[in-house]
Structure 1
Amino acid sequence: MTPRDADDGSSNGPAASRWSDLDRPPLNATALRRGLVRPDGLWSALDVVQRTGSTNADLVAAAEAGRAAEGAVLIAEEQTAARGRLDRRWTAPARSGLFFSVLLRPAEVPVARWGWLPLLTGVAVATGLARSAGVDTALKWPNDLLVTVGGEERKAGGILVERAGNDGVVIGVGINVTLRADELPVPQAGSLALADAVSTDRDTLLRAVLRSLEDWYGRWRAAGGDPAVGGLQEAYAAGCATLGRRVRAELPGDRSLIGEAVAVDGDGRLVLATREGVQEPVGAGDIVHLRPA
């Protein structure tokens, strides 16, 4: 894989003039590789690009062209065409967050259980940020990361999972790190800095998140994808802010389902208990929006 505009994170060379915001230094790709890429580890390659449209799109293309192995990590200092679920746009100033994608090939896990990958990633990110940033990150099913700003839950990150060929999955993660109040794209957005993080050093945060992801992915894969055996299902339920709340699931075709979110089942679906006394599972691929009822 040869990403565009590659930068080694050093302060020398023509790229140095681009780093004008001293509060947002560039990532140190050399140090990140040294700390994360090991012969016996999951992460096989790590590249940082200054600017690209979407790290997910780039890594999917590299994987399908045979230019990326499992464990490849692609990080962008800025994304111009970042996407969330259902092609929703994600925008943030350069170097204000962590915007990265990883390539996984979970051959040992039945494809039917791959739906747990966005939930697994949420648990891994929340665990890593708790350790490195001192921020309590809650999970909104199926793919949002929430922090508390002024007593209010705000979205500070998201997760996007896409297939790459027949045997690969690319997981994209976007986390607002130093986004300031006057930079928020919408009032409901937040960042680690606004949530009073003890550290906003992106190198430190990224190392913690990727090590946590390696750990949770290893457990899940060793369990054959069974979320109960590896403790994933329990960990997700413990950190999921959606459970216990009354929500409205907006479905395709202007349909909706209202109920209390009571569980996440073995397939990663959200189970809603309706007023009719029926428990209805809803999959991430079936839902357009999930809102408070």
Structure 2
Amino acid sequence: MTPRDASDDNSSRWSDLDRPPLNATALRRGLVREGSLWSEVEVVQRTGSTNSDLVARAAGGGLAEGAVLVAEEQSAGRGRLDRQWTAPPRSGLFFSVLLRPAGVPLARWGWLPLLTGVAVATGLARAADVDTTLKWPNDVLVTVDGEERKAGGILAERAADEAVVVGVGINVTLRKEELPVPQAGSLALAGAPSTDRDPLLRAVLRSLEDWYGRWRAADGDPVASGLLEAYAENCATLGRMVRAELPGDRSVVGEAVAVDGDGRLVLATEKGVQEPVGAGDIVHLRPA
């Protein structure tokens, strides 16, 4: 699907005054500057998937690291294993970024979605003043009515020319009746005093720039960059009994005791064995 520029559509479906459009000019002015990671910021009205669009553009060549594509609405947004992500127009932050981590060993690129999770949690805590935690490997959680709810997700995909596209979806102003499933949440439902998407997006991208810079400076080492420690501090999965559902109807039950140096979740099973589970291997992670 071809992206539509955010100024192209004035129809009634965009008339919700509680959900003003993003200010693309102000975002570019605040993020694209000399020495910044971010090379361009484009805001489109509607597209299928910002991840798919950036992957296709990267394959065409000439796209610099730090390109950011934001959509006011996605018709084919997706998460891990092509699970669908839907939300009303202008109700959240739906964006993808292009990263080229040259010099970082390929084996450490699997940390990028976890790094993005830390950056999102840090940025939202600052700008939205709401507590967020992370469910391994790629969910952002908030607390609604005393329950943990998924308010965001992260998807990383390899692109051409040694690049990675990382997509982020965050529910900002979704109301209870708009939730795709009862277990979902949003910043508004979590009691966030600020749901202005412009400063939220700037905060998340600045946090991502900071963590990405630390990680690259350490050649992708999650310990030296402080990433492993920060992820463990934010990870709500650790210390809980979980069931990792794997391909082939196989599952592993145990206490989530650590995230290892490869970003895998380590489960201590009843047999006394510590078994690491990789994000690329898992179908579902559920409470045991």
Q: By the TM > 0.5 criterion, same fold?
A: yes
What is the DSSP-based 3-state SS (H/G/I as helix, E as strand, rest coil) of the residue aligned with 2:9? helix
List per-residue Cα deviations over 1:157-190 (Å, max 9, x = no partner): 0000000014100000000000000001100000
Counterpart in 1 of 2:6? 7
What is the DSSP-based 3-state SS (H/G/I as helix, E as strand, rest coil) of the residue aligned with 2:120? helix
Counterpart in 1 of 2:75? 80
Rounded Cα–Cα distance in structure 2 between residues aligned with 1:29 and 1:203: 9
List per-residue Cα deviations over 1:226-281 (Å, max 9, x = no partner): 00001000000000000000000000000000000000000000000001110000
The answer to whether the 8 A contact 2:256-2:266 is kept is: yes
Distance 1:135 1:274, change over 3 A: same
What is the CA RMSD across the aligned residues, in angstroms? 1.0
TM-score of the aligned structures, taking structure 2 as reference length: 0.98
Counterpart in 2 of 1:11? none
Count of residues paired in the alignment = 286
Select which of 206, 210, 214 maps to 1:215. Answer: 210
User: 1:36 offset after TM fit, Å?
Assistant: 0.2
The answer to whether the 8 A contact 2:6-2:46 is kept is: no
Distance 1:67 1:5, change over 3 A: farther
User: 1:78 offset after TM fit, Å?
Assistant: 0.2
Counterpart in 1 of 2:130? 135
Rounded Cα–Cα distance in structure 2 between residues aligned with 1:109 and 1:46: 25
Which one-letter code corresponds to 2:117 in the other structure? G
Select which of 94, 98, 112 maps to 1:99. Answer: 94
Which one-letter code corresponds to 1:139 in the other structure? L
Counterpart in 1 of 2:52? 57
Select which of 273, 280, 287 maps to 1:278. Answer: 273
List per-residue Cα deviations over 1:118-153 (Å, max 9, x = no partner): 000000000000000001110000000000000000
Counterpart in 2 of 1:203? 198
Counterpart in 1 of 2:186? 191
Rounded Cα–Cα distance in structure 1 between residues aligned with 2:144 and 2:286: 19
User: 1:39 offset after TM fit, Å?
Assistant: 1.9
User: 1:6 offset after TM fit, Å?
Assistant: 1.7
Rounded Cα–Cα distance in structure 1 between residues aligned with 2:102 and 2:35: 18
User: 1:201 offset after TM fit, Å?
Assistant: 0.2
User: 1:108 offset after TM fit, Å?
Assistant: 1.7
Percentage of identical aligned residues: 80
Rounded Cα–Cα distance in structure 2 between residues aligned with 1:47 and 1:175: 18
Select which of 23, 27, 41 maps to 1:28. Answer: 23
Q: Flag structure 2 segments of 5+ consecutive residues without an equivalent.
A: none
Counterpart in 2 of 1:167? 162
TM-score of the aligned structures, taking structure 1 as reference length: 0.96
List per-residue Cα deviations over 1:17-76 (Å, max 9, x = no partner): 453000000000000000000121100000000000000000000011014210000000
Rounded Cα–Cα distance in structure 2 between residues aligned with 1:20 and 1:63: 33
What is the DSSP-based 3-state SS (H/G/I as helix, E as strand, rest coil) of the residue aligned with 1:213? helix
Rounded Cα–Cα distance in structure 2 between residues aligned with 1:35 and 1:7: 18
Which 10-residue stretch deviates more, 47-56 or 16-25? 16-25
Select which of 277, 280, 289 maps to 2:284. Answer: 289
Q: Flag structure 1 segments of 5+ consecutive residues without an equivalent.
A: 9-13
What is the DSSP-based 3-state SS (H/G/I as helix, E as strand, rest coil) of the residue aligned with 1:33? helix
Select which of 222, 225, 234 maps to 2:229. Answer: 234
What is the DSSP-based 3-state SS (H/G/I as helix, E as strand, rest coil) of the residue aligned with 1:237? helix
Rounded Cα–Cα distance in structure 1 between residues aligned with 2:73 and 2:60: 24
